[in-house]
Each structure stands twice: as C-alpha cells, then as structure tokens.
A and B are shown apart, each in its own frame.
Chain A
Amino acid sequence: MSDVIVIGGGPAGLAGAIACASSGLNVTIVDEFIKPGGRLLGQLHQEPSGEWWNGIKESERLHQEARKLSVDIRCGVSVYNLEKENHLWNVYTNSGTLTAPFVLVATGAAEYPIPLPGWTLPGVMSIGAAQVMTNVHRVQVGKKGIIIGANILAFAILNELQLAGITVDRIVLPERNQISQKAGEPEEVMKSLLNAAHLAPSPLLRFGSRFMRRDWIRKIGLNFYPKNGVKVNGTPLQLRKAAIEIIGKDHVEGVRIADIDANGTIIAGSETIYEADFVCIAGGLYPLAELTAVAGCPFQYIPELGGHVPHHSETMETPLEGLFVAGNITGIESGKIAMAQGTTAGLSIAKHVGKGAGTIDEQLQQAVKNVRTVRQHAAIQFNPEINSGRSKMNQLWDDLYANNNREDSPKKIV
C-alpha cells in the first residue's frame, strides 16, 4: 500500500509527489492522460527575461525527478470516486481501487464554456484543446481559425498557434448574453486585459494601460477602438465584434460575426460571415474540484480564484483528515504556482506522517513563503485580484478551522 496517492500528474501533483517521496514516503500518482505533465505539457511562452518557458521540458524534468525517487506513476487511469473508510482513503479508478491514508487531489482546472449556435460542430474546440493538439500532439488544428473570447489564456495560446504556423484570422468577443456575461462586454474585457497589461500582446495595449485605467478615458478609447481591431502579433483583436453563430454542415466552415457597440449591443445589419476551418472557445478556467466534492469537502465560491474551491489552508490541507489539495483546484494560477503549492502539500503530508525530523516545520514555512514569492514574480496572472482571493480563503480557514484546538491545527505563517 502507498502512503500517499496523488490524483493528477500535472505540475502540482508531480511536485507534491516529489516532496513526499523525498521525505521517505511511498507515492503513487494516477493521471488520465497518456503522459505526465497535465496542462503544463502544452505551455510555451517567453518569460520577461527572454527565456522560453517550455512546458514539455519542465514536465520531463519533474517526471524524471519523480521516477528517480521511485514514485509509481500510472497514466491512463481515471478516478471516478473518492471515499474514506476506516481512516483510509479509497480511490476508485477504472483499473481498480487504490487505498492510502493520504490523498493529494491535484486535478487542475476545466474550461468555462461559451455556448453559441453551431458550437457542437466538429472543428469547434476549447482553446486548451487546440493548445494540447498543437504543442503536445504536434498536429495542426486547422489552417485558419477564429478565437471567441479575449482573455489571458486566449493570448497565450494564440501565440502558441502562431509559432506552429497556424493562422488565427481574428479574436472576437462572444455575443453578450446571460451566459457569456462580462466576456461579451467590450469595456469589461478591456478592463481585465489592461490589468494584465505588463504582458500585453501589443504596444498599443501596453502603452494605453498606463492612463486607460481611468474610466472615462477607457470609454473614449473603446468608442474610437479601430473597427478592424488592434493587431496582436499579426492577428486582429476585435473588441467591437461579436460571434453570433458558427456555420458549417459536417464541420466548421465559418463564423457569423457582427459589430457591437462599447456595451456589447449588436449593431443591426452589420453581420458578415468569415471563413474558418476551426474555432477556439476561450471562456477561461475554473477549478476542477468534483473529486473533493464527492469526498465531502466543504466549498467556498470565490470568483477571484475562478469559482468554487475546496476549503483549504495555506499548507494545503482540507478539513478532511488526510486529504490535501494543490494547484488549480485551489484557484486559477500559473503552472509555477501549482508546483510551489505541490511542494507545500507534499511537505505538509510529510509533517502529518511525522517525517522530516526537526526541520519539517521550517521547510513547510519556507515552502509557503515560496508560493507567495512565486506569485509576486508571476509573468502571467489569470486574475488580477488573486491576492484578495487567496486572503479570503486564508481568513475563512482561520475562522472555521484554525482555532479548534486540534493538535495539528495549522499555525499562521507570517
């Protein structure tokens, strides 16, 4: 029997397994995909320093390190239930049940949908799907595509598609409605893009961000926003256009697009069909927390973290004894944060087991501090209010769990 089962072999799960195994614990990782790395596998971007962040290399590095420590890594395994029985966790999978006293759930994130007519056609995919097909499988998703939804994830993957020689014709907004909400309002989109302006994909946005934080300037900016958009690395970002319908018979053939005003209202008679053989839906990410939910873990809805997240401490424990979390399941952030959180969770588990002799407290404190440091230096921040989201969860944990006089109650790390 393993001491620890890690569910999800992405950056958080691999780092968590490495930390556990380094402390002398027996670790098994299960992952649904054909190889370890999770969403890290697809990532490819240039750091402000000019160096490339190559997710495949990073994944391989973590994978090798875990293997050296004899971590049992099982790919192609899906977990469908998680339950506690007699102080042990049962992890039910499509290839048998695994049992261990400790479980680290590092299941990452799923993508928000943007439903629109025609979105079930073959050739319409989530933007993350295009990323994996391009960088991991190395197959072009199409010749010419349109991205619906303008956010940080869309820009990062736009760049990756371009690197692979795929033409992205334009980025447009979804039609404003009850489901797309703010993602269909040019002003809201502009605001969130400006908040991430240090990685702005175009000089205009970078330049604009300095003074366009003022509401009235932003309004004017949007009213004069060029009808054909601002070029982002050659692809027009069209904040004043919305996708109305995806067209095609057996697969995508084009997208019907209309002009919109600064509030997202469609301008009558402005519809045009643009040809495309693939469409990417970029709705953003939400924490994939279903396994902790079936395990009985309480949740909190924190929009800054991307949605519902399981209650957890800064040392990555949940209120359920033996159940730990790390990575995007705790809130949407970069792969580097996921790794730092994974290390924290691994050390936290080691501490619970009683490993690490006298130094474990110090190591754990250091790991928690490291998460904050990595956050401060992050080149990509999915939600500009991330610090506020993290504080909310920490406060909630302190209020609900930290003062219950449990022997192992977490100490506040300042």
Chain B
Amino acid sequence: MANMGEIVICRCEEVTYGQLQATAEEHKCTARELKLRTRAGMGFCGGRTCRPSLDRILESVIPNIAPGEIPLKYQPPIRPVTFGTVGENQ
C-alpha cells in the first residue's frame, strides 16, 4: 500500500496529503483557510489540478458536509499574468 501521507496533492506547491489532512483536522478548516495555511491550490496553476482532491479532503474532515457544498470560489486572474499585463488592461 502507498504511504498516503506522502502523496503530493498540490503539484505546484508540493503539499502532501499528510500535511493537508493534519491541517484540516487540527484547525477544522474552511476551504479558504486550508489553502491559506498550506498554500495548496495557491501555486502557479491556481488549483486547476488539485482542487477536486482538496474538496474531497475537506469533505472527509468537515462533519455533515455533502459533496459539492464546498463553495466554488475563484479569484481572478485565473491564468498567470505579468503585473505589466494587468496594469495595461485595467
């Protein structure tokens, strides 16, 4: 069996299942708090790869939460842009 704790969930920030599980359990995190504490989902890809896994970890930790009840919160920019691009545009 694989050592579940060592599986990298967020590839961008190399946050492991073990770190996420421990943080979620210790702090009874909201989705936002879990991301801020571990930086999972906050790397270069903006969580596009790991988000579904993060949601499943949260579902297993937060009591009585149904799949899909974790808010679908996204913030721009949803693609990495240089400060220059944002400056010119807005």
Contact = CB atoms under 8 A, between A and B. Distances in A.
Tell me if chains A and B make direct contact, with any CB pair below 8 A.
yes
Interface of A: 78-83, 92, 94, 96-97, 110, 112-113, 115-117, 119-120, 175, 177-179, 181, 244-245, 258, 266, 286, 288-291, 293-294, 299, 301-303, 307-308
A119 B17 CA distance: 13
Contact of B17 (A115, A244, A302): A115
A366 B67 CA distance: 36
A301 B53 contact: no
Given A178-B56, A299-B72, A80 B78 contact: yes
B73 to A, nearest CB: 7
Nearest to A300: B68
Given A94-B85, A303-B68, A115 B53 contact: yes
Interface string B1-41: 11110111101001001000000000000000000000000
Contacts of A178: 4, 56-57, 60
A294 B4 contact: no
B64 interface: no
B76 A81 contact: yes
B72 A289 contact: yes
B6 A117 contact: yes
B89 A179 contact: no
A303 B66 CA distance: 12
Contact of B89 (A92, A116, A177, A181): A92
A294 B56 contact: no
B86 to A, nearest CB: 8
Contacts of B17: 115, 179
Contacts of B88: 96
Interface size classification for chain B: 35 or more
Contacts of A83: 76
A83 B17 CA distance: 35
Contacts of B83: none
Given A115-B17, A244-B1, A308-B68, A290 B74 contact: yes
Given A94-B85, A97-B89, A308-B68, A119 B8 contact: yes
Given A115-B8, A179-B53, A266-B1, 5 more contacts: A115-B53, A117-B7, A179-B57, A293-B72, A302-B68
Contacts of A80: 76-81, 85
Contacts of A244: 1-2
Interface string B38-65: 0000000010111011001100100000
B35 to A, nearest CB: 15
A117 to B, nearest CB: 5
Given A80-B78, A96-B89, A113 B52 contact: yes
Contact of A307 (B52, B75, B78): B52
Contacts of B73: 293
A81 B80 CA distance: 11
A108 to B, nearest CB: 13
Contacts of A245: 2
A218 B87 CA distance: 60
Nearest to B61: A178
Given A78-B79, A179-B56, A294-B75, A113 B50 contact: yes
A115 B79 contact: no
A96 B85 CA distance: 8
Contacts of A96: 88-89
Contacts of B79: 78-80, 94
A379 to B, nearest CB: 27
Nearest to B49: A113
29 contacts: A78-B79, A80-B81, A82-B76, A92-B89, A94-B81, A94-B85, A113-B52, A113-B53, A115-B8, A115-B53, A116-B7, A117-B3, A119-B11, A120-B8, A120-B11, A175-B1, A175-B2, A179-B17, A181-B56, A244-B1, A266-B1, A288-B48, A289-B72, A290-B48, A290-B74, A293-B72, A293-B74, A294-B78, A301-B68
Greatest chain B CB density within 10 A among A92, A97, A112, A179 is at A179
Contacts of A115: 7-9, 17, 50, 53
A245 B57 CA distance: 20
Nearest to A83: B76
A293 B70 CA distance: 14
Contacts of B69: 301
A301 B65 CA distance: 13
Contacts of B60: 178
Nearest to B77: A80
Q: Which 3 A-B pairs have the closest CB atoms?
A: A301-B68, A81-B76, A80-B77
B79 to A, nearest CB: 4
A81 B1 contact: no
